[in-house]
Amino acid sequence: MELFFHYRDKDITYEELIEDINKTKEIEKYIYEQDPYEILKKLIISIINGNQITLLDSDFSVEEIKKLGVSEVELEKSYENKEKVENMDDLFGKIEKNKDIWELTLYTSGTTGRPKKVIHKLDTVARSVKKSEEFKDNVWGFAYNPTHFAGLQVFFQAFLNRNPMIYIFDENRKEIEGKLKKYNVTHISATPTFYRTIIPYIKSPIESIQRITTGGEKYDEALENTLKKSFPNAKIRNVYASTEAGSLFSAKGEIFKISDRIKDKIRIDENNELLIHKSLLGQSETFKLENDWYKTGDIVQKIDEDHFKFVSRKSEMINIGGYKVNPHEVETEIKKIENVLDALVFGRKNKITGNILAAQISLKENVNTKEMEQKIVNQLRNKLQEWKIPRIISFVDQIKLTRTGKKVRK
Amino acid sequence: MENKIKEIINIVLEKNNKETVKELNKELSLRDDLGMDSLDLAELTVRIEDEFGVDIFEDGIVDKVGEIIEKISKR
């Protein structure tokens, strides 16, 4: 029987997946779980039962979950697994039957401090999935967090084509080359940061890879050239996707094409901001629409009617290796720490993760700055995900403000 | 210069609860031997750039301590 999922040193076949599904009596309404296989199994169970579930990052702190507005009582709720699955055809039949009732809630970093809640149906979360006979022999390297939108895209693409997934996201980097070769992985989708992290461990070219997909960060030509050496047979593609709308465009190099399929649902306004029609979005109460159009905050340059490239982000969100951080959220947490007067959080550019977080902090008088730095980092570790913690902290007498009283974010 | 590099490497390691180094061996791998992850490497490169004005990752992937020293000496 074909392989479904490989992680750590376990191989789970599609047959074993079905057995595990049938053995599961209930699943939580809020999936807050570390084991990637368990996350995917529960996700599948929720679809065949037509449940409404929420995926939470396993590294969310208790504080962060509280901020989402999810109570402890809610976290404890579960659904009964009422379905028994006979085989893969039966499984896909049940998915087809329930796909319009099923709802998946994800949280994405919001621009106002509180993460945005976005509700997806299978249609939006798997819109970019291509299902066809020609994909039946694909083998996927799974290189995203499975609770994140990009991870779900990889999952549905692989799963709906009954492909094996080889989990390499937070596995030992020294073992990744061996795993890709052993399982003859053909497709990988990952952030530029992930590729930069694994490339030093790839000692000889991996011939089996046919396609490398990347996205979520600015296009990097040097990286593309490095990738070609490690994966000599791969076509390299860049995609634009967002938690709000899923995967929308793809590019060879840095120029994105707007496909005919979505042409009338994409606009570039007079300020060169990319707009997406609401029919392409998941549901959320927090989306700000203007006459049915969603403003992405991405400033683009139009090449011709069907092509554009990215110029910059309008919003203040800082991209750390593909994760978007809202500086206001981090500033709020820093300012709660004793003896801190004010804080300014901004990105520092680098070639590894695009940006890392830096902070300028002003303290009450007579506080030892060396001790404070460690204290701030330690306190933030209990409250925020790793990439939201400033790496470079400097102490200043006063945070600079603009003439209108806003902080000068560099 | 090498002492300063060692100091910067140790700041990054210590702050992130990793074992610091006593001697700066050129053969040490930042990832394998010092256990740096991508955020640690990003912090390291920004701190080195602030000190020496050199972006050590500018033209590709750096992994050995010796490669950092070489990049900074060439500036």
Position A17 pLDDT exceeds 90: yes
Interface of chain B toward chain A, CB-CB under 8 angstroms: 15, 31-32, 37-39, 41-43, 45-47, 49, 55, 57-61, 63
Task: Say how many CA atoms lie within 13 Å of B41 toward its Cβ.
Answer: 28
Tell if the CB–CB gap between A356 and B57 is shorter than 8 Å.
no
Nearest residue in A to B57, CA atom:
A351
CB contact under 8 A, B39 and A199: no
Sorted by where each begins, the domain ranges of chain B are 2-73
What's the CA gap between B45 and B35, in Å, rounded? 15
CB pair distance less than 8 Å for A356 and B60: no
pLDDT bucket at A109, cuts 50 / 70 / 90: low
Mutate to test the interface with B, among A195, A350, A410 (most CBs of B within 10 A): A350
Complex ipTM above 0.85?
yes
Higher pLDDT, A312 or A384: A384
**Is the CB of A200 less than 8 angstroms away from the CB of B31?**
yes
Position A410 scores a pLDDT of 53
Cα angle, residue A357 at apex, residues A354 and A363 outer, rounded to 5°: 160
- Higher pLDDT residue, A403 or A306? A306
Q: What is the pLDDT of residue A118?
A: 86
Q: Which percentage of chain A shows pLDDT scores above 70?
A: 94
The pLDDT of residue A114 is above 70: no
Nearest CA in chain B to A357: B43
CB-CB neighbors (< 8 A) of B55 in chain A? 350-351
List, in order, residues 6 or more apart from A387 with CB less than 8 Å away: A320, A321, A323, A325, A357, B39
3-state secondary structure of B68: helix
Q: Quote the pTM value.
A: 0.78
Q: What is the pLDDT of residue A90?
A: 97
Measured in angstroms, the CA of B16 and the nearest CA of chain A are apart by 9
pLDDT at residue A403, rounded to an integer: 46
CB contacts of B37 in chain A (<8 Å) are 197
* Residue among A201, A226, A391 minimizing CB distance to B43: A391
Hey, of A172, A352, A375, which one would you mutate to test binding to chain B, going by the most B CBs within 10 A of its CB?
A: A352
Q: Hey, of A171, A217, A391, A393, which one would you mutate to test binding to chain B, going by the most B CBs within 10 A of its CB?
A: A391
Nearest to A352 among B15, B32, B42 (CB): B42
Give B18→chain A minimum CA distance, Å: 14
pLDDT at position A221 over 60: yes
Nearest residue in chain B measured CA to CA from A199: B61
pLDDT tens digit sequence for B18-63: 999 998 899 999 998 999 999 999 999 999 999 999 898 887 778 8
Residues of B in contact with A320 (CB under 8 A): 39
- Residues of chain A whose beta carbon is less than 8 angstroms from a beta carbon of chain B are 173-174, 193, 196-197, 199-201, 222, 226, 320-321, 348, 350-353, 356, 358, 373-374, 377, 386-387, 391-392
Task: Look at A46-50, A285-289, A371-375 and tell me which has the smallest mean pLDDT.
Answer: A285-289
Question: CA A323, A240, A97, A16 torsion: positive or negative?
Answer: negative
What's the CA angle centered on A228, arms A223 and A232, to 5 degrees?
A: 160
CB contact under 8 A, B46 and A391: yes
Domain boundaries, chain A: 3-237, 254-314, 320-395
CATH, range A320-395 = 3.30.300.30
Structure confidence at residue A404 (pLDDT): 47
Note the pLDDT of residue B50: 92
CATH topology of domain B2-73: 1.10.1200
- How do residues A237-278 score in pLDDT, each as one tens digit? 888 877 677 778 888 888 888 988 889 999 999 888 999 998
Q: Compute the mean pLDDT over every residue in chain A, rounded to the nearest whole number.
A: 88
Tell me the chain B residues in contact with residue A200 when contact means C-beta distances shorter than 8 Å: 31, 61, 63
Contact call for A199 and B41, based on CB within 8 A? no
- CATH topology for A3-237? Rossmann fold (3.40.50)
Q: Could you tell me which residue, A317 or A51, shows the higher pLDDT?
A: A51
Chain A residue numbers with beta carbons less than 8 Å from the beta carbon of B60 are 222, 226
Residue A402: pLDDT over 60: no
What pLDDT, in 10s, does the model give residues A189-220? 998 888 988 888 899 999 999 999 987 776 77
